[in-house]
């Protein structure tokens, strides 16, 4: 599906929650996360 992901943030909105989903995103084929 998607290989790259762009996340717009100021790092104050709970990135700790995103960390929980990184393994699932990688398993789905995501190769690059850009902040």
Per-residue pLDDT of the chain (35 residues; tens, 9 = 90+): 789 999 888 877 777 888 888 899 889 999 998 98
Q: Model pTM greater than 0.95?
A: no
Number of domains in the chain: 1
pLDDT of 6 reads 92
Q: What is the pLDDT of residue 29?
A: 92
In angstroms, the CA 1 to CA 8 distance is: 20
The contacts of residue 34 (CB under 8 Å, 6+ apart) are 4, 5, 6, 7
Query: What range does the domain containing 27 cover?
Result: 4-34
pLDDT at 32: 94
Contacts of 13 (CB under 8 A, 6+ apart): none
């Amino acid at each position: 599906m998607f290989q790259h992901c762009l996340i717009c943030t100021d790092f104050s909105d709970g990135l700790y929650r995103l960390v929980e989903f990184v393994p699932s995103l990688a398993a789905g084929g995501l190769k690059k996360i850009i902040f």
